[in-house]
Structure formats: structure tokens, C-alpha cells
Amino acid sequence: MAQSRRIQFNPNDYFFYSHDRMMRRQGEGPNIAFMTMDLDGHIAPGQLRAAVRDVFLTHPVLMGGIRFSLLSGRPYWRLPTDLQEATADMADAAVSHDDFSTIPEGLDRAEALWKARCGPAWNLTSGPQMRVEQYTLPGNKTRVCIRWPHLLMDAEGAMLFLAELAARSTTPDAPRPIDGLHADQQLVDPLRPAGFFRRANLAIAGLRGMPTDKRLKIQTLFGATRPAYQDQQCQHKSWSGDDLARIQSAAKACVPSGPALYARYLAVCVIHALHRVFADCHVDSDAYLITMPHSISAAQGGAAATRPMQGNYLVSPTLKGRKSLIGDRRAMAEDITQQLADYAGANMSQK
């Protein structure tokens, strides 16, 4: 990547990058999210690579790697200058294909390989920041697994990515204009005056501010004590490969579980960190809008389930941190809890 250009981090990039560095210092790998899709029929590997290539052109940050500038003291995304030329190589690096269609125990072999790939640590310094695994299975079935590192976990983005990938694999389309990354445009960066270390320290301070309850250790919060596929259980849903309208609803159903308490506390930490940084940078706002990852628990024993869960970042409500509650941590936690309950009720009523 001899010639490249820089894309500045957004506030969430800083937070998750800080967490990634902290986890590595503790000897743990990053928290890798994934989603699997079981499709009827087989997909040509070249067709999937072409779809990924087009999506990379639409969302070029997925091709980027993280670099750290010694001059500015800030990390940034480094992207190739010629995106058209780079996408072919990046798509080849991102997509893997394993054919088990003629093996009697093909499904078991695919499951074992899928689980083995959950473990290796992810290096955020090199792209692409997305992996797509294709498993051709017996019985005219295909399983597709998409993995991405935690700093790119965004519910809307993940589901849009799936929808785009499916649409482009059936109806090739000209890439849309690159999302806000034109060379002649200046990205909005309200945190520009703040140095990286100040932002990183705020994020880490938020994590260190966890309650003294031993059950709320960071390793427990981010599921780093067990293999990823055990903490991020994923139900496999099947639908026709050309039935694109069901992708979004299926994505909401294919999520793992985890306690809502962690998600609520993490939301409060992020809101407080943003408030301090924005105040230092003289950015005034009555509320701080953040998108936090949650899943919705499945019904147990026929009972209605509305408890939001911290999990695989596929279902994310937008939470509002009200400036008037900044000084009262308990009141803010209660307010976040109510927002989560409202979101869960609305989400479950749509199923």
C-alpha cells in the first residue's frame, strides 16, 4: 500500500480502539462479532467475491488498516489511494471458500472449521476489516459467515451490508458514491482539538469505573474468557437465497445472549466520556446520541421475552444520554434502562 490516504477516526472508533489495546495488553484478543446465514442452493465463489468487491467500493473503510501517527499522536484509517485497483486484492483476501458438498459428514466438518476460525486474534493494523467465509454443504445448501472486529460492529451497518451483499450477488449494480470519503470533502470531526491520549484515557477510565462487583470484570463484559463461538452463540436460520426481503428480520433473530446490565453500564460510561470530551472541545449539546449493541433474548418456556442483551452487535437501539442527567449516575442508568425496555418492547412486538 505504497500510496495511501488517511481517514480520521470517529468517536466510537477511539473508544473501541482503546479497548482493543487494553485487551491486548492483558493477553486477550479482540472481541470478534459474526453472523451466519444458511441459504438454499449453491453460490458461485466468484459471484460472492464480486459482490464483496462492490460493497468494499461503497464502504472503503472496510479495506483500511489502523496506523498511528507519531507526529499528531493520533490513530487513523489508512486506505489505498486507488480504491478501484485495491478492491480486487482485498476481496480475494476477505473471502474464503470451502467445498464440503461431496463429503457425507460435510456439515460437521464445516461446523468444526467455522468454530476453529473463531479463535485467532484479529490484527486491526491491516485490512480488510471484514471476513466472509463460504461453506458449500451437502443437500444443495450454502452457509455464509461474516466476521468483523468490534470497532466496526454497528447494527444498521451490518444489516445493510448483508442486504447489499445479497443484492449485488444476484443483481450486479454500479457502486454508489463513496460514503463521505471524497478527497475534496472534509469529514466532520468535532473531537479534532482533543489529543488521542486524552480521548483514549477517557474511554479506558470509563471501563475502569466498573462497579466493584467481581461478576462485572471486563473479561466477563466482553466475553474474553471462553472461545468466541461459546459466548456468541448463533442460531442458524434458513431462507431462499433470492428472498432478500427477509434478511433484515433474520439478522435480528440470529443473535447471541448476554446480560443487559453490562450494556446499560457501558452506555453510561460512553455518555460520560463523550460529555467530558465535548465539553473540553466546546461542543454544546442537550443530549448525546449513541448506538449501543444489544440482542433481544428468545422466549423461555413460552414466556414473553423483552430483555435486551449485550451481544453480537446486530440489533442496536439508539440511546439518548440527556445532559441534564450527567451529574446523577443513578438517574442516568434508570433512564437508559427505560429506553432499553421501550426498545425491547417495540422490537418484540414487531416479531
pLDDT tens per residue across span 150-195: 434 443 344 444 444 445 444 444 333 323 323 333 332 333 455 5
pLDDT for 102 equals 93
Is residue 297 one of the residues assigned to a domain?
yes
Poorest-confidence range of 9-13, 106-110, 260-264, 301-305? 301-305
Confidence of residue 98 (pLDDT cuts 50, 70, 90): very high
Based on the fold, state whether residues 245 and 327 are members of the same structural domain.
no
Average pLDDT, whole number, for the chain?
59
DSSP states of 56-84 as a string? Answer: HHHSGGGG-EEEEETTTTEEEEEEES-HH
pLDDT for 99 equals 95
Based on the fold, state whether residues 297 and 240 are members of the same structural domain.
no
Based on the fold, state whether residues 15 and 161 are members of the same structural domain.
yes
Is residue 207 one of the residues assigned to a domain?
no
Based on the fold, state whether residues 152 and 282 are members of the same structural domain.
no
Whether pLDDT at 22 is above 80: no
Based on the fold, state whether residues 152 and 267 are members of the same structural domain.
no
User: Average pLDDT, stretch 110-121?
Assistant: 74
User: Average pLDDT, stretch 40-53?
Assistant: 80
Whether pLDDT at 13 is above 80: no
Q: Residue 39 is which amino acid? A: L
User: Average pLDDT, stretch 116-140?
Assistant: 78
Is residue 240 one of the residues assigned to a domain?
yes
DSSP states of 109-143 as a string? Answer: HHHHHHHHTTSS---TTSS-S-EEEEEEETTTEEE
Based on the fold, state whether residues 151 and 56 are members of the same structural domain.
yes
CA atoms within 13 A on the CB side of 153: 26
Split into its structural domains, the chain has a count of 2
CATH number of the domain bearing residue 41: 3.30.559.10
User: Average pLDDT, stretch 115-135?
Assistant: 75
Confidence of residue 245 (pLDDT cuts 50, 70, 90): very low
Based on the fold, state whether residues 23 and 119 are members of the same structural domain.
yes
Is residue 8 one of the residues assigned to a domain?
yes
Based on the fold, state whether residues 173 and 239 are members of the same structural domain.
yes
Distance CA 312, CA 309 (A): 9
Q: Which residue has the higher pLDDT, 187 or 148?
A: 148
Based on the fold, state whether residues 243 and 282 are members of the same structural domain.
no
Whether pLDDT at 93 is above 70: yes
CB atoms within 10 A of CB 58: 17
Distance CA 86, CA 202 (A): 35
Based on the fold, state whether residues 21 and 151 are members of the same structural domain.
yes
Confidence of residue 197 (pLDDT cuts 50, 70, 90): low
Q: pTM (2 decimals)?
A: 0.50
Distance CA 275, CA 281 (A): 10
Domain housing 48 = 4-181+232-253
pLDDT tens per residue across span 213-235: 333 233 322 333 333 333 333 33
Is residue 113 one of the residues assigned to a domain?
yes
Is residue 191 one of the residues assigned to a domain?
no
User: Average pLDDT, stretch 326-350?
Assistant: 66
Confidence of residue 71 (pLDDT cuts 50, 70, 90): confident
Q: Which three cell numbers stand for residue 284?
A: 454544546
Q: Which three cell numbers stand for residue 22?
A: 487494553
User: Average pLDDT, stretch 236-245?
Assistant: 40
Specify the DSSP element, H or E, that contains 289. Answer: strand 287-291
Is residue 212 one of the residues assigned to a domain?
no
CA atoms within 13 A on the CB side of 240: 5
Is residue 271 one of the residues assigned to a domain?
yes
Based on the fold, state whether residues 241 and 276 are members of the same structural domain.
no
Based on the fold, state whether residues 264 and 171 are members of the same structural domain.
no
